[in-house]
Amino acid sequence: MKPEILIIDDEEVVLMLIKRLVVKTGLHNTPQLFTNGMEAITFIHEYNTKNQPFLVFLDINMPAFDGWEFLDMLNNTPLENQVNVIIITSSVNQSDKAKSKEFSEVIGYIEKPVTEEMMKEVRKIETIAPYFQ
Amino acid sequence: MIKDQQTYTILIIEDNPGDRLLVDTYLEESVLVPRITGVESYREAANLLEKRSDFDIILLDLSLPDMSGEELIKAVIDIAGNIPVVVLTGYSDVEFSRKSVKLGIADYLLKDDLTSSILYKSVIYSIERKKVFNQLEDSEKRYKDLFQLSPIPKWVYDLQNLKFLDANQAAVMTYGYSYEEFRQMSVKDLIPDEDLDMLKDTIQKVKETDKSTPRFSGEFRHRKKNGDIIVAETSSNYLEFDGKPARMMLANDITFKKKYVEAIEVQNAKLKDIAWIQSHVVRAPLARLMGLVNLLAEDEVTTEEKQTYTKLIMDSATELDTIIRDITEKTEQIDIKEI
């Protein structure tokens, strides 16, 4: 079963850019777009059908409900579904990268801008590779 | 008898020619080169000693035409400086001889008992003893100067009742209390009331400290006479002062240094803030801009899309420009000279 793909970023232009790459590299034709983490959490809980895995492209610095809060919330409300997160951030701080490793859901960390080549690499990540075979 | 080869420069204050001759003879018997100068009154001696201080020893007769006895001893000691004075007298008076030694003379010899060897021994012994005494005095003065003239405030306090036993000039200058006021005060009087518990703890720890190790006590707030509070970095050492257990303490005023460090910390925080903006706020529009440029390079982009992307690129560039101006403004506001 292919994972449902969610893209979370407070900037519309970035959402559009990432969506284009997701579609172009064949990960998903209709990824879900969110401008804050809260809406995405709600979406995941509403589509909590059995076995439906989720792959989330998550921005960290957002004004309202930021990436860290999203990850905390995810940990506090355990789901049976597989939720994998790839962080896409404009931050180049090593501390952010180190912090991301504390979350077991995080399987990738990309510094913006995302290129087509980077997106092609995503499907090769061990944890999610089986979904795309 | 083998004569002493050393040259001795000797001043004899003696008005009796017979006694003078006797002393000269005795000296010549034991010393190879006695360079003897003779005067016959206190006044002459005083005049001479004003001009010359190169005498190794002064031999003094106690009955001179213009002065005698105790008065004469005191007057000669006063003008002799570091030169030892040996008294020669015709009268045997044990009580007086003891008293005159207390006044500072080196030896007391009876003319009737005088021999060449007694005189020689007394001269040599008096010169050597005075040398050692002078060295001791010098070294005591040197140590006193190290304490008194140190530019860092120092004091000695009684370990039992915390009273000041001594304080140097720098302490007087820094704290505004006179030396006499310090002597009436205890360490507690320098500590603001709210820090007294901390002082109690520290004193307890100081008492437990090994006597041979200096102790760094850390930073203390001290109150000056005018009420100003300064921050002092203190350390102390054990010593016995007038037989009492005491500590010699050094208190370095670091008020200004501390303010400076605090100002630097504030500046540091501001710079960190700017660095944070740099990485988070600047990189966001920049990364977006780069993403858009990548998109423009793709083959399948339509003319209409190109126009949209170009506008978005311009928006990102404008945002970046605003942020950079903001950073410049914030950086210019940081000025350490404000302290």
What's the longest Cα–Cα distance across chain A?
37
| Residues paired with B13 in a beta bridge | B39, B60
Q: What pLDDT, on the 0 to 100 scale, is given for residue B339?
A: 52
Average pLDDT over residues B123-145: 88
The 10s digit of each residue's pLDDT in A74-110 is: 988 878 888 999 999 998 888 899 999 999 999 999 9
Query: Number of C-alpha atoms within 13 angstroms, CB side, residue A107?
Result: 18
Closest-CA residue to B329 (of B275, B274, B291, B290): B274
Q: Are strands A83-89 and B215-223 parallel, antiparallel or unpaired?
A: unpaired
- Chain A residue with CA closest to B309: the answer is A13
B277 touches chain A (CB under 8 A): no
Please give the C-alpha separations between residue B152 and each of A69, B146, B256, B291, in angstroms, as whole numbers: 55, 10, 15, 63
Phi, psi of A94 (to 5 degrees): -65, -30
What is the residue-averaged pLDDT of chain A? 91
Token look-up 């400290």 returns B209
CA distance A72 to chain B (A): 21
Pick the CATH number of B150-253 from 3.30.450.20, 3.60.10.10, 3.40.50.300, 3.40.190.10: 3.30.450.20
The CA distance from B49 to B7, in Å, is 19
The CA distance from B54 to B125, in Å, is 18
Residues 51-80 of A with CB under 8 A from B: 61
Of B279, B283, B295, the CB nearest to A17: B295
The CA distance from B47 to A78, in Å, is 109
- Is the confidence at residue A29, as pLDDT, over 80? yes
**Residue A20 with chain B: CB contacts under 8 Å:** 295
The CA distance from B11 to B83, in Å, is 10
- Is the confidence at residue B169, as pLDDT, over 90? yes
CA distance A49 to chain B (A): 35
CA distance B261 to chain A (A): 26
Ramachandran region, residue B104 (left: φ > 0; alpha: ψ -120 to 50; beta: rest)? left
Q: Where are the domains of chain B?
A: 4-146, 150-253, 259-338
Q: What pLDDT, on the 0 to 100 scale, is given for residue B278?
A: 74
- Is the confidence at residue B337, as pLDDT, over 70? no
Alpha carbon B55 to its chain's center: 34
The 10s digit of each residue's pLDDT in B177-198 is: 999 999 999 999 999 999 999 8
The 10s digit of each residue's pLDDT in B86-114 is: 999 887 777 887 888 888 899 989 888 88
The CA distance from B117 to B31, in Å, is 10
A11 touches chain B (CB under 8 A): yes
DSSP-assigned letters across all residues of B272-319:
HHHHHHIIIIIHHHHHHHHHHHHHHTSTT--HHHHHHHHHHHHHHHHH
Name which of A44-53, B52-61, B249-258 the model is least confident about: A44-53
Confidence of residue A119 (pLDDT cuts 50, 70, 90): very high
CATH code at A110? 3.40.50.2300
3-state per-residue secondary structure call for B217-263:
EEEEEEECCCCCEEEEEEEEEEEEECCEEEEEEEEEECHHHHHHHHH
3-state DSSP assignment of residue A127? coil
What's the longest Cα–Cα distance across chain B?
137
Q: Angle, to 10 degrees, between the axis of helix B17-30 and the axis of helix B116-148? A: 80
Q: What pLDDT, on the 0 to 100 scale, is given for residue B103?
A: 86
Q: Considering its fold, how many domains does chain A have in total?
A: 1
Residues 6+ apart with CB under 8 A from B179: B167, B172
- Is the confidence at residue B232, as pLDDT, over 60? yes
Say if B4-146 and B150-253 have the same CATH topology.
Answer: no
State whether B288 and A61 contact (CB < 8 Å): no
B284 touches chain A (CB under 8 A): yes
Domain interval for residue A66? 4-132
Please classify residue B184 by burial: count the beta carbons closer than 10 Å to its beta carbon, then call 0-12 exposed, 13-18 middle and 19+ buried: exposed
Q: What angle do CA B302, B305, B307 make, to 5 degrees?
A: 115
3-state per-residue secondary structure call for A10-62:
CCHHHHHHHHHHHHHCCCCCCCEEECCHHHHHHHHHHCCCCCCCEEEEECCCC
- Chain A residue with CA closest to B311: the answer is A13
Closest-CA residue to B292 (of B313, B318, B316): B313
The architecture of the domain spanning B4-146 is: 3-Layer(aba) Sandwich (3.40)
A16 touches chain B (CB under 8 A): no
- Alpha carbon dihedral B163, B167, B170, B172, in 10-degree steps, equals 60
